[in-house]
Structure 1
């Protein structure tokens, strides 16, 4: 690696599995001190152990980001404390993906999706961004989704929650960018670790048919994009949603 994030500190939410885990590992490999946040202590400590075994710096912070402003503020304070007093990079990755149909979505499910996917990152960013400004700058990276812009017949509430995060990305870029905090987002396609031979295919994989990639992506692809957006290489990038989706939202491949 090239130490592109050397001397930086990062808070990654939902960092105990899949995309969040890959981002935490990649940030640490690039020199950042990473606060690994998530609900599972066992998985979080495994991520921290992997980072430390590779010579990186990381700490685990248990957090249930349920949408309450107090929970988000508490995580911001705890992360700043373990990271030496400041958070240079915030990755709003934690989210849930119930995908019922619209008639099949009850009010409790609706409220929970928006609490975890929108309210929690909203109040976490509200807590972190002013401290970044006071410290001279920082970077916020939100996680969107390809289905925020390409409609599918299930998961309407989840899709709309990710659409909200894309809108917040642009709004926050306008609000915080002039004061030194860059805000961008990544919109992944179907992304997961490889399925063991003989196991059932991931249910989302069919959605990648007819794309240039033709298959699902690996979490490391999203992590590489996050490293770029967090680094000084992206210093002129503000309010952008970076599609890392195998071409799902922009390209249709027609078989001959």
Structure 2
């Protein structure tokens, strides 16, 4: 038997105005969850809120620069009582180690690792106090697949995967589930702008022979925040189309 689902739930989604975050926001709103959509662009935030309302959902836009710890904590305070936290916002610089500046390294870790850490610290204890809550961390296959570029980005996401397991241990007994979702290449405006046609080439390297779509990741998140997934905790779900076998043909 699964535990009863809390009614009128609220979800804070970081990086919700584009790509995977936007797809997650729309999916959860379609399920009747009130969405707190974080982003940096008020215009895109207003458009998302308008679209969700037109589809019968409920949403509010919150802005914060996740590179600043004070703004992250202010975001948590503005969100108030939430039942679901989706740590989706992320930045990347696919450069070699020698070409990655200290500022770039710090910025990637600030947004990708420190911001989720601070948000969980601010919001998870109240979830535990109420006896229910779900935290979903969007990581990346870069966390487990070493490459000659992007070491800082991969390390920042690898840290989040360890934090996912640590938080599940810390809060799981008090009703808070913590799960990671690790997507492979996904078709977003950001990846297309950075990689161009190479995005499609990346997709051909997996067993599905195609790139992923934001809605496919959002469907996974939608399932994970539902009571039907109540026995899933402290793990990272990989959604990368399937890795080819390492065995020789």
Judge same fold: TM > 0.5, yes or no.
Answer: yes
Corresponding residue for 1:187?
Answer: 182
| Cα separation, 2, equivalents of 1:192 and 1:45 | 23
- The answer to whether the Cα contact below 8 Å between 2:36 and 2:60 also exists between their aligned partners in 1 is yes
- The answer to whether the Cα contact below 8 Å between 1:133 and 1:181 also exists between their aligned partners in 2 is yes
What is the Cα deviation at residue 251 of structure 1?
3.1
Corresponding residue for 1:46?
Answer: 47
| Cα separation, 1, equivalents of 2:121 and 2:168 | 13
- The answer to whether the Cα contact below 8 Å between 2:178 and 2:234 also exists between their aligned partners in 1 is yes
How large is the Cα RMSD of the aligned pairs?
2.1
Q: Do residues 172 (structure 1) and 167 (structure 2) align?
A: yes
Equivalent residue pairs, number: 241
Q: Do residues 18 (structure 1) and 19 (structure 2) align?
A: yes
Q: 1:111 aligns with which of 106, 112, 117?
A: 106
Corresponding residue for 1:251?
Answer: 244
CA deviation string 1:129-159 (max 9, x = no partner): 0111122210000011011111121101001
| Cα separation, 2, equivalents of 1:98 and 1:208 | 20
1:112 is paired with a residue whose SS is helix
| Cα separation, 2, equivalents of 1:41 and 1:48 | 10
Q: Do residues 158 (structure 1) and 153 (structure 2) align?
A: yes
C-alpha distance 31-6 of structure 1, shift in aligned 2 (>3 A):
farther
What is the Cα deviation at residue 207 of structure 1?
2.3
Alignment of 1:235-246 (within 5 A): 235-246=230-241
2:198 is paired with a residue whose SS is coil
2:134 is paired with a residue whose SS is strand
The list of structure 1 runs, each at least 4 consecutive aligned residues, that deviate by more than 6 angstroms after superposition, is: 253-256
What is the Cα deviation at residue 6 of structure 1?
5.5
- The answer to whether the Cα contact below 8 Å between 2:16 and 2:37 also exists between their aligned partners in 1 is yes
| Cα separation, 1, equivalents of 2:189 and 2:127 | 37
Corresponding residue for 1:79?
Answer: 79
Q: Which runs of 5+ in 2 are unaligned?
A: none
Q: Do residues 141 (structure 1) and 142 (structure 2) align?
A: no
| Cα separation, 1, equivalents of 2:87 and 2:189 | 24
TM-score for both structures, normalised by structure 2: 0.91
- The answer to whether the Cα contact below 8 Å between 2:206 and 2:240 also exists between their aligned partners in 1 is no
| Cα separation, 2, equivalents of 1:99 and 1:239 | 28
Q: Which runs of 5+ in 1 are unaligned?
A: 81-85
Q: Do residues 59 (structure 1) and 60 (structure 2) align?
A: yes
